[in-house]
Structure 1
Amino acid sequence: MNKKSYYKASNWNAVEDQVDRSAWARLNDIVYEPRRVPIHKDRDEFSHLPKAEQTMLLHSFGSLALSSTLQMKVSLSKIKQDAENSEEAAVYNALQYLESINNKAYGHALSEFSTSDEQRDEAFNWANQNPYLQKKMRLLNTVYQSENAIQKKAAHVFLSTGLYHSSFFGPLYLFGQHKLPRTAELIKYALRITTLNGIYTGIKFRRDYFKLSKEEQENVHNWVYGLCDRLYANELNHIHLLYEDTGLEDKVEHYIHYTLNKALMNLGQEPKYPENVETLDPTLTTGLMESAMIEDFFFYTNAHPILKMREIKK
Structure 2
Amino acid sequence: MTTNYKAINWNNIEDMIDKLTWEKLVEQFWTDTRIPLSNDLDDWARLPKNEKDMVGKVFGGLTLLDTLQSQDGVQSLKQSIRTQHEEAVYNNIQFMESMHAKSYSAIFSTLNSKMEIDEIFQWTNTNELLQIKAGTINEIYHTGTDLQRKVASVMLESFLFYSGFFAPLHYLGNNKLPNVAEIIKLILRDESVHGTYIGYKFQIAYNQLPDNEKEELKNWTYDLLFKLYQNEVKYAEYLYDEIGWTERVKVFLRYNANKALQNLGFDPLFPDTANDVDPVIMNGISTGTSNHDFFSQVGNGYLLGMVESMENDDYEKWTV
Q: When the two structures are superposed, what TM-score results if normalisation uses the length of structure 2?
A: 0.90
Whether 1:272 and 2:269 are equivalent positions in the alignment is: yes
What is the rounded CA distance, in whole Å, between the counterparts of 1:296 and 1:167 in structure 2?
A: 22
- Identify which of 290, 311, 314 aligns with 1:301: 311
The one-letter code matched in structure 2 to 1:90 is A
- Identify which of 64, 69, 75 aligns with 2:73: 75
Deviation at 1:6, TM superposition (A): 3.3
What is the match of residue 222 of structure 1? 219
Contact 2:140 2:148 in 1 (8 A): yes
What is the match of residue 22 of structure 1? 20
Contact 2:262 2:312 in 1 (8 A): no
The one-letter code matched in structure 1 to 2:11 is N
1:117-196 alignment runs, 5 A limit: 117-196=114-193
Q: Secondary structure at the match of 2:140?
A: helix
What is the rounded CA distance, in whole Å, between the counterparts of 2:315 and 2:182 in structure 1?
A: 26
What is the match of residue 263 of structure 1? 260
Contact 1:33 1:101 in 2 (8 A): yes
What is the match of residue 35 of structure 2? 37
Deviation at 1:287, TM superposition (A): 2.5
The one-letter code matched in structure 2 to 1:38 is P
Contact 2:263 2:312 in 1 (8 A): no
From the superposition, tell whether residues 300 and 213 of structure 1 become closer, same or farther in structure 2 (CA, over 3 Å): same
The one-letter code matched in structure 2 to 1:136 is K
Q: Secondary structure at the match of 1:153?
A: helix
What is the rounded CA distance, in whole Å, between the counterparts of 1:129 and 1:90 in structure 2?
A: 34
Deviation larger for 189-198 or 154-163: 189-198
- Identify which of 239, 243, 259 aligns with 2:240: 243
Structure 2 unpaired stretches of 5+: 290-300
What is the rounded CA distance, in whole Å, between the counterparts of 2:145 and 2:283 in structure 1?
A: 40
Deviation at 1:244, TM superposition (A): 3.2
Q: Deviations over 1:124-167 (max 9, x none)?
A: 11111110110111110110002510000000000100010000
What is the match of residue 311 of structure 1? none
What is the match of residue 47 of structure 1? 45
What is the rounded CA distance, in whole Å, between the counterparts of 1:147 and 1:258 in structure 2?
A: 26
- Identify which of 260, 268, 285 aligns with 1:288: 285
What is the match of residue 297 of structure 2? none
Q: Deviations over 1:260-283 (max 9, x none)?
A: 000000000000111111111122
What is the match of residue 110 of structure 2? 112
Deviation at 1:299, TM superposition (A): 5.6
Q: Deviations over 1:213-237 (max 9, x none)?
A: 1111000100000100111111111
Structure 1 unpaired stretches of 5+: 307-314
What is the match of residue 90 of structure 2? 92
What is the rounded CA distance, in whole Å, between the counterparts of 2:12 and 2:283 in structure 1?
A: 43
Deviation at 1:300, TM superposition (A): 3.0
The one-letter code matched in structure 2 to 1:26 is K
The one-letter code matched in structure 1 to 2:243 is T
Deviation at 1:36, TM superposition (A): 1.4
Q: Secondary structure at the match of 1:123?
A: helix
Deviation at 1:305, TM superposition (A): 7.0
What is the rounded CA distance, in whole Å, between the counterparts of 1:283 and 1:117 in structure 2?
A: 33
From the superposition, tell whether residues 299 and 123 of structure 1 become closer, same or farther in structure 2 (CA, over 3 Å): farther
What is the match of residue 66 of structure 1? 64
Deviation at 1:174, TM superposition (A): 1.1
What is the match of residue 309 of structure 1? none
Contact 1:176 1:288 in 2 (8 A): no
Aligned residues: 303
Deviation larger for 165-174 or 3-12: 3-12
Provide the aligned C-alpha RMSD in A: 1.9
Deviation at 1:31, TM superposition (A): 1.3
- Identify which of 67, 91, 100 aligns with 1:102: 100
The one-letter code matched in structure 2 to 1:68 is D
- Identify which of 198, 202, 205 aligns with 1:205: 202
Contact 1:157 1:198 in 2 (8 A): yes
Deviation at 1:288, TM superposition (A): 2.5
Contact 1:47 1:54 in 2 (8 A): no
